[in-house]
Structure 1
Amino acid sequence: MVIESLTALLVLITAIYAYLTYRMAKASEASMEAVRDQSEAMLRPYITVAPFIRPHTPFLYLRVKNTGRMGARNLHLTLDRDFFQYGEKDGADKNLRSKSAFSTPIDCFPPGAELIFALGPGWVLFGKSAQPDVSPTQFNVTATYEFLGKKAEEVNRVDLRPYIGSEGELDPVVEELERIRKVMEKKK
Structure 2
Amino acid sequence: MKRIKLIIPVLMLSLFFTGLFLVQSDKAMASANLYWGSQGNEVVTLQQTLNTQGYWCGEADGIFGPKTYAAVIKFQRAKGLDVDGIVGPNTKAALGLNDNKTATTITPSRDGSSIYRGRTLTMTATAYCSCYQCNYPYYGAPSYLGLPLGKGIIAVDPKVIPMGSRLYVEGYGEGIAADQGGAIKGNRLDLCFASHQQALNYGIKTVKVTILD
Larger helix percent = 1
Q: Give TM-score scaled by structure 2 length.
A: 0.28
Q: Give TM-score scaled by structure 1 length.
A: 0.30
The structure having more radius of gyration, on CA atoms, is 1
